[in-house]
Amino acid sequence: MHIMLNHRILSRFHEPLKARAEGRHEGEHQARHTWLESFDWTPAQITEAITDVEVFVGTQLRAEDARRAERLRLVHVVGAGYDGIPLDALRPEVSVTTTHHHGRSIAEHVLMSVMMLSRDVLGADRALRAGRWRNVAVDPELPFGTTLAGRRVGIIGFGETGTEVARLCQAVGLRIRAVRRDPSAPVPDDLRTDWIGGNDRLPELLAESDVVVVTVPLGPATRGLIGPTELAAMGPGTLLVNVARGPVVQEEALYEALASGAIAGAALDVWWSGPPQAPSRLPFHRLPNVLMTPHHSGHTTDTFVARAVEIADNINRLEQGRPLVNVVRAGASTTP
């Protein structure tokens, strides 16, 4: 098969991906498939090559290329979100699948972020780099930090990432509540939650949480989900952590809430624009109560090795005519 690998990060794991997809050991060179690593190609080069491609592996596919890909059978997204794939432009025969394995990595990032904000690690770091000791022993006006045990975390979305966030938060004594689309779905046996509700209970979750963690996918129902009303419901002591997508939270409303002290702080790993543009048109970088990271909370070796394995296995299933896993759109020519 002709396989186009259009993902800069996954290309760093191309050897285990190719070896598993072809049933060989790493270092062996007999190739059953033709691999096109196109992450640094121009759009024109991709357009020219896409006509022969049967499997596309990546996160972004232009609609014009999707329409030209007459031999395409599978689009395998490198991640959980498939908003960069133009489903309407694909032929009916094309299946679209996703991969995950980022839950634990993102959950560790969330817990780290909450601890940093709760102890004002950023402020202490800035002060000490400037030569100032900033602690309660030398500054009687400085507020004390807080521990996490007994505080309440509200998780918006309770899929892979949300449940892993709950596990780690529970381990340090945080109390768990969450909202999700189907509140009746089973909860893992190892989790103890105050409550799990439907999305209609979002106002209650916001009002009752000391920390709010956003993990929902971006879609019509979640775009702009957190706006002025929701931020006002959180209260001045609340921390917001967004590891979902930037546009789930309204940009201007969040900046105003942070700048005015309407909420205590935020850890933002996702933004409203990407490189090479600035992450936001607003100066979040000037706010002392914001922890900024460049959408890297899931970027660990564990995440991408597991993704390479799962993507290779799905390529094998396609070749062998077996059912694919993690299907978000079943093509007419494959078994759902």
pLDDT single digits (tens) 155-203: 999 999 999 999 999 999 999 999 999 999 999 999 999 999 999 999 9
pLDDT at position 55, please?
A: 98
pLDDT at 67: 97
- Is residue 336 in a domain? no
Q: Given this model, what pLDDT does residue 223 score?
A: 97
Domain count, the chain: 2
Q: Is residue 284 part of a domain?
A: yes
Query: Pairing relation of β-strands 34-37 and 2-6?
Result: parallel
- Given pLDDT bands bounded at 50, 70 and 90, which one contains residue 98? very high
Please check whether residues 119 and 170 belong to one and the same domain.
yes
Q: Give the pLDDT score at 25.
A: 59
Residues 226 and 164 in one domain: yes
Query: What secondary structure does DSSP assign to 139-157, as a single string?
Result: -TTSPP----TT-EEEEE-
Question: What are residue 37's phi and psi, to 5 degrees?
Answer: -90, 105
Q: Is residue 160 part of a domain?
A: yes
| Environment class of 318 (CB within 10 Å of its CB; exposed 0-12, middle 13-18, buried 19+) | buried
Beta-bridge partners for 212: 154, 240
Residues 147 and 211 grouped into a single domain: yes
**Average pLDDT for 313-327:** 96
Q: Does 166 lie in the same domain as 142?
A: yes
Residues 224, 238 within the same domain: yes
Confidence category of residue 23, pLDDT binned at 50, 70, 90: confident
Q: What is the DSSP letter of 322?
A: P
* Domain at 228, CATH number: 3.40.50.720
Asked if the structure places residue 6 within a domain, the reply is yes
Tokens describing residue 151: 């505080």
Q: How confident is the model at residue 336 (pLDDT cuts 50, 70, 90)?
A: very low
Q: Choose among 196, 185, 200, 219: nearest CA to 328.
A: 219
> Same domain, yes or no, for 175 and 97?
no
DSSP string, 264-312: SEEEES--SS-TTS-S-SS-GGG-TTEEE--S-TT-SHHHHHHHHHHHH
Asked, for residue 305, whether it belongs to a domain, the answer is yes
pTM of the predicted protein model: 0.90
Establish if 12 belongs to a structural domain.
Answer: yes
pLDDT digits 0-9 by tens, 7-21: 999 999 999 999 999
Per-residue pLDDT band at 32 (split at 50, 70, 90): confident
**Residue 335 counted as domain residue:** no
Q: Do residues 315 and 239 share a domain? A: no
Shared-domain flag, residues 81 and 137: no
Would you say residue 95 lies in a domain?
yes
What's the confidence (pLDDT) of residue 24? 67
Q: What is the pLDDT of residues 265-301, one digit of tens each?
A: 999 999 999 999 999 999 999 999 999 999 999 999 9
- What radius of gyration, in Å, describes the C-alpha atoms of the chain? 22
Q: Mark whether 53 and 160 lie in a shared domain.
A: no
Same domain (yes/no): 7, 94: yes
**Range of 203's domain?**
103-292
Query: Residues 118-124: contacts with CB within 8 Å, 24+ apart?
Result: 118/145, 118/146, 118/147, 118/148, 118/239, 119/145, 119/146, 120/145, 122/288, 122/291, 123/288
Residues 271 and 162 in one domain: yes
Q: Contact, 140 vs 200, CB < 8 A? A: no
Mean residue pLDDT of the chain comes to 95
User: CA 90, CA 38: separation in Å to the nearest integer?
Assistant: 19
Q: Are residues 257 and 241 in the same domain?
A: yes
